[in-house]
A and B are shown apart, each in its own frame.
Chain A
């Protein structure tokens, strides 16, 4: 292959048709409170870990819904499971359970990076 001094760039666009929805469906089934997230960010504002490292609880919902499993796997490792997010959530989502379920499901479906 020739080198012309530049390269073809991979698209950044989220291609919604190209993701494995098994993880998402399992989490929504096991913890249906997760369906009603408003993306308000209250969880992220209060997060013990998010103040120290780049961890964003709100984005978990998006990563899951856009099939970004690899990133999700490394993200949830940062959670300290303190549960403050659950105190804040205006829609009563059991976020700690969501994190635990993501961990389990990644193992179950062997989606680990």
Chain B
């Protein structure tokens, strides 16, 4: 029986583990947190159809219980060495593992919005990120934390930490446009009196049902979309926020007062993925995400033979894309082990 070690127990890690267990291999998942599921655990509803997140996390947990694979939680990889065609892995807690193949599924990190100083995140009282908003939308979450007294006007800022040379992130994080539309609708459902605006540069509604949801946001929920990137936000004497943007379609600067500002934060490769690149001796793209040897045919192959890549450690991805990418990683591992 071959042993495969998967680094990261988020969606990609679990999905790959299940598929490889089904294929008859012995699998160990190394997860730095106590709980499997990664960032998904902090999300409330999923685009584009408002599926409650626990439906997905529940299904993943169910799978984990059914399948017979090992999980090392609260564990991090310290070193990886190749010995006689195998990988010798040392982890925190002085554990030692031997593997025939490795899958890196270290995922992403959420952009730290404090780096966009001009938006005053963690300084102004009523500026939050999309990740914060998800937590407030969870059962038991309290929206008044972000904006007391029923906010009359709410604005979303697209592309915070994405498509922005100033933050070093040239790429599009792919999920924020549709997240903004979803969250705007969700807020409108809970605060029907509020006016909601989305400030965007381009709306990238590429996925199944994305464009339809955007249309629904306009038609049914009166969400207004203003094309322009926020130059800055400032707190006023009453704690509301003055925001400035160009209304690029009419070619004039625009200012507006809002009671709550939501920053749609992008994805970054993050510390986990950067560390995995170093311990595995594999390369990163300029974006910081892991390099695949071929973007069409070998999107699960790292530069090192026997080390495979799954999910958003390679690029920003939706949950659907992550699941598909993890499954294809499992298939590639299986094929490679058979040929070996």
Contact = CB atoms under 8 A, between A and B. Distances in A.
Given A13-B252, A13-B254, A16-B257, A39 B227 contact: yes
B255 interface: yes
Nearest to A58: B249
Contacts of B252: 12-14
B215 A15 contact: no
A36 interface: yes
Interface of B: 215, 218-219, 222, 224, 227, 244, 247, 249-250, 252-257
B256 A17 contact: yes
Given A32-B219, A36-B219, A14 B253 contact: yes
Contacts of A16: 254-257
Interface stretch (A59-67, A75-83, A96-104): A59-67
Interface string A22-42: 000000100010011001000
B249 A62 contact: yes
Contact of A62 (B218, B250, B257): B250
Contact of A13 (B215, B219, B222, B255): B255
A39 B219 contact: no
A19 to B, nearest CB: 11
A35 B253 contact: no
Contacts of B224: 65
Size band of the A side of the interface? Answer: 10 to 19
A14 B254 contact: yes
A35 B218 contact: yes
Given A35-B219, A91-B215, A66 B254 contact: yes
A23 B229 CA distance: 27
The dominant DSSP class at the A interface is helix
Interface of B is mostly: strand
A55 to B, nearest CB: 15
B215 A62 contact: no
Contacts of A17: 255-257
Contacts of B249: 39, 58-59, 62
10 contacts: A12-B253, A13-B253, A13-B254, A13-B255, A14-B253, A15-B255, A28-B222, A39-B249, A65-B224, A66-B254
Nearest to B254: A14
Interface in A47-100: 58-59, 62-63, 65-66, 91
A36 B218 contact: yes
A36 B254 contact: no
Given A12-B252, A15-B255, A39-B227, 5 more contacts: A13-B244, A14-B250, A59-B250, A62-B247, A91-B215
A104 B179 CA distance: 39
B61 to A, nearest CB: 40
A13 B244 CA distance: 9
A26 B255 CA distance: 24
Contacts of B250: 14, 59, 62-63, 66
Contacts of A58: 249
Contacts of A65: 224
A91 B253 CA distance: 28
A53 B253 CA distance: 26
A65 B227 CA distance: 13
B218 A66 contact: no
Nearest to B242: A17
B221 to A, nearest CB: 10
A64 to B, nearest CB: 11
A28 B218 CA distance: 11
A63 B215 CA distance: 21
A66 B224 CA distance: 11
